[in-house]
Structures are given as C-alpha cells and as structure tokens.
Structure 1
Amino acid sequence: MSDPSTQPSQTPDLEEPKFGFNDYAERLNGRAAMVGFLLILVIEYLTGQGLLSWLGLQ
C-alpha cells in the first residue's frame, strides 16, 4: 500500500504558453470575452442604464 503523502515520481508534461493564434491563446481570449460580457450585463443591471449611457456616449 502506498503512502498518500509521497510526491509523484514523474512531473506532468505541460506545454508552455505560446504567442500568436494557438489553442491556448484562443481559449484565454474566449474566457476573457465571456467575463467582459458578464460584467457589462452586471453594470447594466445595477445602474439601470445601457453601456453607452453609462460611458456617456449616448
């Protein structure tokens, strides 16, 4: 039976983040867009104004 407090003997083989159009960048960009969209909805709900009105553009 192995001791659960021991460290694994092999480290996982993870890819380093890259620049340009790749899966990592696209995933990160998509998540940032979803967070931004959610924040816009929260701002509109809390202020009772649309984003353009909140920014003073309308």
Structure 2
Amino acid sequence: MIEPSLIPKRKLPRFGFHTHTEKLNGRAAMLGFISLLIVEFKIGHGLLIW
C-alpha cells in the first residue's frame, strides 16, 4: 500500500457538534445526576414532591 507523502490537516468546525464539547456535556450531566441523587437521599424524598 502506498502511503501519502502529505497528510492534510483538518480544521475544526466553528459551530455544531464537537467531540470535546460532547464529552464536557456528558460529564456535566453525570455530575448533575449524581448530585441530584445525593440531594434526594439527604432530604428523604424527591425534589418534585412538595
């Protein structure tokens, strides 16, 4: 197989879905879900029940 002599560099798009922003969003969602579970455990009931 012939290897290319020059490998093109891709520019990241300026808008849309990026892998780093998707990872950050997923991590924030996981932290929020775990903190919600901790708060519900501490107060003894769900946050939507008054």
Per the shorter chain, which TM-score range? 0.5 to 0.7
User: Would you say the 8 A contact 1:19–1:25 is kept in 2?
Assistant: no
Q: Counterpart in 2 of 1:23?
A: 19
Structure 2 residues without counterparts, runs of 5 or longer = 1-13
Runs of 4+ off more than 6 Å: none
What is the TM-score of this pair, normalised by structure 2? 0.64
Q: d(CA) in 1 for partners of 2:16 and 2:26? A: 14
**C-alpha displacement of 1:20:** 3.1
Q: Counterpart in 1 of 2:4?
A: none
Say whether 1:48 aligns with 2:44. yes
Q: Number of matched residues? A: 37
- RMSD, aligned CA: 1.4
Which of 13, 16, 35 is equivalent to 1:39?
A: 35
Q: Percent identity among equivalent residues?
A: 51
